[in-house]
Amino acid sequence: MNIQWFPGHMAKTRRLIAENLKLVDVIIELLDARIPFSSRNPEINTLINNKPRLVAFNKSDLADEQISGQWVKWYAEQGIKCILINSISGKGLNEVKARARELMSEKIERDRAKGKLFTPVRLMVVGIPNVGKSSFINRIVGRATAVTGDRPGVTRGKQWIRINSEIELLDTPGILWPKFEDQEVGMNLAFTGAIKDDIMDIAEAAMELLVRLSKNYPAELCTRFKLEPGILKDIEPLELLETVARKRGCIVSKGQIDYSRIAAIVLDEFRGGKIGRITLEKPGDREETGTVKEVGPEVQTATDL
């Protein structure tokens, strides 16, 4: 399945980010902790150039703790500090604010030395669709300010939000890139909901996800769908999907499988963490993970939700 999704408003978002860079002091980039490589938009580095940046792994409560630890170690080896956060519970958000203030300190002192009146330091939040930017903003601000949703494309325009007397924050819509050269990246984005379900074959996506889980998280898969562990050996992808469908009663007339229904169940339960804490990629899975570079005085990484 070849997955590509780049609606017109994303091209506008690229222009919006570029046009507003001169207005902001620090970039906060949110990544999905379940797919730390696939959720990193390769265009962000070019767009933000040398702006100081905080990188936040969001949705870490849904990710495999052991693999998240591997990612934290990997980023540390690149000179990138990782902060584990959770936008729902608020875990780690105070540290994010503290790190942001550290990055802002030089600007604040520079302005004071010039005798300028204090002005709020401005942050910009960027990330792919459905990574949890609005939930992150609402939690860090402390009130429901940004529009939230469980589907990509909810936030369509920029929003300036005052966090406190010292910090203002610019929310931006989710942005993907025009072409996924690596279709595994496209599949990972589809699994996590960064790409709209209605532009792809969800039965094929669910089947591929089940195959991944059968290889890397067989115990969690068998427990959730009440499968006998031995059934996963040498089972064909379609047969696995159909077996799961029968276990959940996704049958229509004459015993036929309701593929759309079981596909929606599999994807929804993965996205909601009901199958277990799962991460779909590890450091070293691709050579490209070694190309991440620091941007600004120090790149911080926060992990969440």
Residue matched to tokens 């709209």? 196
Task: Find out whether 188 is annotated in a ligand binding site.
Answer: no
Task: Find out whether 115 is annotated in a ligand binding site.
Answer: no
Give the model's pLDDT for residue 250.
97
Do 123 and 54 have their domain in common?
yes
Using a 10 angstrom Cβ sphere, with 0-12 exposed, 13-18 middle and 19 or more buried, the burial of residue 78 is: middle
Give the model's pLDDT for residue 144.
52
170 is a domain residue: yes
Give the model's pLDDT for residue 249.
96
Q: What's the DSSP call for residue 267?
A: H
In DSSP notation, 59-97 reads -GGGS-HHHHHHHHHHHHHTT-EEEE--TTT-TTHHHHH
Task: Find out whether 94 is annotated in a ligand binding site.
Answer: no
- Report residue 107 as tokens: 């600007």
Give the model's pLDDT for residue 203.
94
Task: Find out whether 133 is annotated in a ligand binding site.
Answer: yes
Task: Find out whether 38 is annotated in a ligand binding site.
Answer: no
Task: Find out whether 68 is annotated in a ligand binding site.
Answer: no
Do 170 and 21 have their domain in common?
yes
Task: Find out whether 61 is annotated in a ligand binding site.
Answer: yes
Do 90 and 232 have their domain in common?
no
Give the model's pLDDT for residue 253.
86
Task: Find out whether 58 is annotated in a ligand binding site.
Answer: yes
Task: Domain count for the chain, please give it.
Answer: 2
Task: Find out whether 60 is annotated in a ligand binding site.
Answer: yes
State the CATH number of the domain containing residue 94: 3.40.50.300
Task: Find out whether 24 is annotated in a ligand binding site.
Answer: no
Task: Find out whether 135 is annotated in a ligand binding site.
Answer: yes
Task: Find out whether 138 is annotated in a ligand binding site.
Answer: no
Give the model's pLDDT for residue 298.
35
CB 141 within 8 A of CB 161: yes
Do 117 and 259 have their domain in common?
no
From first to last of its 305 residues, the chain has per-residue pLDDT tens of 554 444 445 566 677 777 788 888 888 888 999 999 888 887 777 777 778 888 889 898 999 999 999 998 998 887 777 777 788 888 888 888 888 888 878 777 887 888 877 677 888 888 888 888 888 888 888 765 544 344 444 344 566 888 777 788 887 776 665 455 667 888 899 999 988 888 789 999 999 999 999 999 999 999 999 999 899 998 999 999 999 999 999 999 888 999 999 999 999 999 999 999 999 999 988 654 544 443 333 333 333 32
Do 124 and 234 have their domain in common?
no
Task: Find out whether 49 is annotated in a ligand binding site.
Answer: no
Give the model's pLDDT for residue 209.
97
